[in-house]
Amino acid sequence: MAELLIKNGVVFDPINGVKGEKMDICIRDGKIVESLHDEHGARVIDASGCVVMPGGVDAHAHIAGGKVNAGRLLRPEDGRRGLEPKRGVCKPCTGYSVPNTWATGYRYAKMGYTFVMEPAMPPLTARHTHEELVDTPIIDKAALPLIDNNWMTLQYVRDENYEMLSAYVAWMIRATRGYGIKIVNPGGTEAWGFAKNCGLDDPVPHWDVTPADIIRALAHANERYEMPHSIHVHGNMLGHPGNYETTLRTFDVVKGISASMQRQTMHTTHIQFFCYGGTSWKDFESKADEIAKYVNENEHITIDLGSIILGDTTTMTADGPMEYTLYRLTGRKWTNHDVELETGAGIVPFLYSSRNPVHSVQWTIGLELALLIKNPWKVVLSTDHPNAGPFIGYPILISMLMSKKRRDEVMKEVHPAVFDRSSLASIDRELDFHEIAIITRASAAKILGLHNHGKGHLGVGADADVAIYGISHEESDAGAVQRAFLNAKYTIKCGEIVVKDGEIVATPEGRTFYVEPECEESLMNEVMKDIERLFKEYYTVSLSNYPVQDVYTPHPYVIKAPMSG
């Protein structure tokens, strides 16, 4: 019976209301317990002078699957960055903005993170996504299948056949071993097949439905089940000047829809890319204040930031039209991939330059959002890895959110447009360790519904995922904060020490979390007739070769989602 005692640390556990208390953490058999059977025989970690938090939870990072692998192939120059040979318990690592699977697990663990959500899994390539997730060491993970541009979805929304839509959604999540519903540029990716794009109220070519119709219908379908997570929405018109107005109208689409669980009804992703004012890049400006005002005044919306890390990265998204636009803007290499009947994706390398006025203002927007939204429980730290920058930049963002001095220093180094087109310079707020613990683990766990399954907190019965940072809770130096969050003193995953003094010391296999919505049998039988016809007439694979099998999820954690009452 393995027991571990973490003594004398200053603990920040927001879900359980622990706000910087000096206390001990007891661990037995991979779980947090109230007390140990044999304190004298337990392994002891003295966390004196350290900050102790639950393991980090990343709600949105592209770490596995077809487009991630295509990004690695497209950018051998990126693969040569971050090269590390096999060392100790670690396998060889490659990549900076698109690291290989091993590097992904190691780097998250070094930062004290223990769970990551892959937010865009094409159903047709779900097996490959799960193969890469299994190959990613240490961390637990899950994936969200893309369901918004699927022909079956479009058909049921057009016909207003919402019962069949809900059954199709249940089948798709079960078939892909997914965690919930992901929506990316609803209707726009399908329109991209005809060299078009869609605004929120524009009809999708040949389907006579709008993106707003799709979002609303999928929100209703999601709430027919007790799903742990809401719809996870990447809206329309990402990256376009003036798109903040579309964003606000998108928020309103689900207003009034009741959630089946105690959570939001829509989580909106990498919202930095949707906060843009102006009519062109010439008068481009931040509208983070308008987005923050809406979030402050409404309870049905949560966001993750998609905050910019200045420097080189790789953009990749199922928003194919946006990636083509980016290619036209930059002239850099580009690849596009269509997934039959389901979705599409584009990949473009990108450099966020501190000398560029647009990029500099983009950099301010993510920080503005985190500081202007009053309730940190509505916010999750993210870079939409790797789109706004690699996840290893989180410590940089944390240091700036905790230090106005650090923000002011950087503002002097970027393009002066930030002073006229952003409000960041006027914001005095500094987040404390408690608020950082919220936006890097507690809020993500609650928004994803993982807090009910042992993640994001240190209460009795929770998974023993613990991060110990070698920094005093009274420390305010931005450099010290950044160094501490980049290399945890200890990371404990399910009771096992995996990081010690910033080095990987163990590489256990993580689990794959997925949801099984429990649909009525008669309704499922009816929808299966449509699915069988679709596969026979249109797909190039057989239906029997489509669903993900047990072998692809060797360490599962299954969450049942019954029909809501």
Identify which of 138, 115, 141, 142 has the alpha carbon closest to the alpha carbon of residue 55. 115
Name the helix (H) or strand (E) containing 304. strand 301-304
Task: Quote the pLDDT of residue 40.
Answer: 79
CA–centroid distance for 79 within its chain: 23
Just give the CATH number of 56-452. 3.20.20.140
The structure tokens listed for 158 are 């057009």
Given a cut of 60, is residue 1 above it in pLDDT?
no
* Dihedral angle computed from the Cα positions of residues 488, 412, 78 and 241, in that order, rounded to the nearest 10 degrees: 110
Task: Quote the pLDDT of residue 312.
Answer: 96
Residue 194: burial class (beta carbons within 10 Å; 0-12, 13-18, 19+): exposed
Q: 23 with 48: CB under 8 angstroms? A: no
| Inter-axis angle of helices 357-372 and 288-297, nearest 10 | 20
Residue 300 makes CB contacts below 8 A (sequence gap 6+) with 251, 254, 255, 257, 259, 264, 265, 266
Q: How far apart are CA 61 and CA 274, in angstroms?
A: 17
Task: Quote the pLDDT of residue 90.
Answer: 97
> Residues 473-492: pLDDT tens digits?
999 999 999 999 999 999 99
> Residues 138-155: pLDDT tens digits?
999 999 999 999 999 999
> Residues 84-93: pLDDT tens digits?
999 999 999 9
Residue 192 — left, alpha, or beta (φ > 0 → left; ψ -120 to 50 → alpha)? alpha
Residues linked to residue 306 through DSSP beta bridges, in sequence order: none
Q: How far apart are CA 503 and CA 126, in angstroms?
A: 32
Q: Domain ranges for the chain, please list them.
A: 56-452
Q: 345 with 323: CB under 8 angstroms? A: yes
Residue 452: burial class (beta carbons within 10 Å; 0-12, 13-18, 19+): middle
Task: Quote the pLDDT of residue 277.
Answer: 98
CA within 13 Å, CB half, 518: 9
How far, in Å, are 108, 318, 350, 503, 509 from residue 500 at the CA level?
Answer: 14, 37, 34, 5, 18
End-to-end CA distance of the chain: 41
Mean pLDDT, the chain, whole residue set: 96
The letter for the amino acid at 176 is: T
| Inter-axis angle of helices 357-372 and 394-401, nearest 10 | 60
- Other C-beta atoms lying within 10 Å of the C-beta of residue 255: 12
Residues linked to residue 490 through DSSP beta bridges, in sequence order: 468, 500
Read off the pLDDT of each residue in 6-12 and give the average, rounded to a whole number. 98
**Stretch among 191-205, 359-373, 437-451, 489-503 having the lowest mean pLDDT:** 191-205
Given a cut of 60, is residue 97 above it in pLDDT?
yes
> Residues 378-416: pLDDT tens digits?
999 999 999 999 999 999 999 999 999 999 999 999 999
Name the helix (H) or strand (E) containing 359. helix 357-372
Q: How far apart are CA 251 and CA 254, in angstroms?
A: 6
User: In 121-210, which ranges are continuous DSSP H helix?
Assistant: 126-135, 151-158, 162-176, 188-192
**Stretch among 48-62, 202-216, 328-342, 521-535 having the lowest mean pLDDT:** 328-342
Residue 124 makes CB contacts below 8 A (sequence gap 6+) with 339, 340, 341, 342, 539, 541, 546
> Residues 179-209: pLDDT tens digits?
999 999 999 999 988 888 999 999 999 999 9
Sheet-wide strand order for 182-184: 182-184, 231-234, 266-268, 301-304, 379-380
CA–centroid distance for 89 within its chain: 28
Q: 454 with 463: CB under 8 angstroms? A: yes
Task: Quote the pLDDT of residue 338.
Answer: 84
CA–centroid distance for 206 within its chain: 32
pLDDT band at 369 (very low <50, low <70, confident <90, very high): very high
- 3-state SS string over 150-173? CHHHHHHHHCCCHHHHHHHHHHHH
Q: How far apart are CA 473 and CA 435, in angstroms?
A: 12
The structure tokens listed for 257 are 């829809």
